[in-house]
């Protein structure tokens, strides 16, 4: 069994609790304002930021914080809602692209102001500039280390 010092566990708990609380508050704001949920937003923004507003499903899964099976369900729902379309690839008939539609772009753009306000109100405004710099540096380091392992 691996032992962690209390200070180490405290850092981990602070990260997990802060993340969960901020996301919960933003989700609540989005729901109250009848905006799309964050899971939907994450998929739409990944497509919006990609060339030609489309990504292979495997690439989309890498860009969003959701399991592949969860992504398939989300994309199926988004397709029914008219926010994305799926298209089989020419070279690999098993592969598929998710493509952002005009309605998907509108939903994503309409959601951004509420999301941005939540990021500011519940996260950025609570921290001073030095704290934001340290957190960004540390979390980026963790992310890069895990990406290098892929």
Tens of pLDDT along 111-139?
999 999 999 999 999 999 999 999 999 99
* pLDDT value at residue 30: 97
Q: How far apart are CA 145 and CA 66, in angstroms?
A: 19
Could you give the number of structural domains in the chain? Answer: 1
Percent of the chain with pLDDT over 70: 95
Phi, psi of 81 (to 5 degrees): -80, -5
* pLDDT value at residue 66: 78
Distance of CA 94 to the CA centre of its chain: 25
Q: How far apart are CA 36 and CA 3, in angstroms?
A: 41
Tell me the pTM. Answer: 0.84
Would you say residue 1 has pLDDT above 90?
no
CATH of the domain at 29: 1.10.10.10
Domain of 61? 18-149
């Amino acid at each position: 069994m691996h032992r962690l010092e209390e200070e180490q566990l405290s850092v981990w708990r602070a990260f997990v609790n802060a993340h969960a609380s901020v996301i919960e508050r933003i989700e609540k704001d989005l729901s109250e304002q009848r905006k799309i949920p964050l899971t939907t937003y994450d998929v739409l923004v990944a497509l919006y930021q990609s060339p030609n507003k489309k990504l292979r499903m495997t690439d989309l899964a890498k860009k969003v914080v959701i399991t592949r099976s969860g992504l398939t369900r989300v994309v199926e729902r988004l397709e029914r809602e008219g926010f994305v379309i799926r298209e089989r690839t020419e070279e690999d008939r098993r592969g598929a692209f998710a493509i952002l539609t005009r309605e998907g772009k509108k939903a994503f753009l309409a959601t951004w102001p509420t999301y941005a306000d939540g990021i500011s109100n519940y996260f950025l405004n609570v921290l001073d500039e030095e704290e934001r710099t340290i957190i960004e540096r540390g979390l980026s380091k963790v992310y890069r280390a895990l990406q290098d392992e892929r």
